[in-house]
Amino acid sequence: MYAAAVPPMIRALGALAKVLEKGAAFAAARKIDEAVLLNARLAPDMFALTRQVQIASDTAKGCAARLAGLEVPSWPDTETSFAALQDRLTRTIDYLGGIAPEQIDGSESRPITLKFRTGEAHFDGIGYLTGFVLPNVYFHCTTAYDILRHNGVELGKRDYLGAD
């Protein structure tokens, strides 16, 4: 469970951090107010870039905590700059790195309950990881990438994948 959860999330968030670096550099080079990109969205009913990053972070740290049987850390969603988003991703990656494999391994059948405005969702550990967490982390990382790419930031598949 650890190998299927933590390393892929660290890689995805690390790649997202590099995508955001390119977004910040793009804004600086073209003298575009960062807020323009941070508040950009693909469609009117979708979340803006900042919220996409926050959700990717929340989903990843929540996964590690829940699978390890720990309290999920709560961080305020107050980021208003690329630097603040980078800090959030660094804190998330550091949190994930602080979870030991033995804390998560064997959590396949751990009951997980998520509370939403519309009610509760119940999972076992493996279903939570494979059917909820990983698709959501990748969705929000992809959407953040797409928002920046749509706004002209030169990004390619290797950036998304985190290839060195």
**Average pLDDT taken over every residue of the chain:** 97
* Residue ranges making up the domain that contains 17: 2-161
pLDDT band at 162 (very low <50, low <70, confident <90, very high): confident
pLDDT > 70: percent of the chain? 99
- Provide the pLDDT for residue 164: 61
CATH number for position 114: 1.20.120.450
Sequence-distant (≥ 6) Cβ neighbours of residue 108 within 8 angstroms: 1, 124, 125, 126
Considering its fold, how many domains does the chain have in total? 1
For residues 44-73, average pLDDT: 98
65-109: per-residue pLDDT in tens? 999 999 999 999 999 999 999 999 999 999 999 999 999 999 999
CA distance 115 to 162: 32
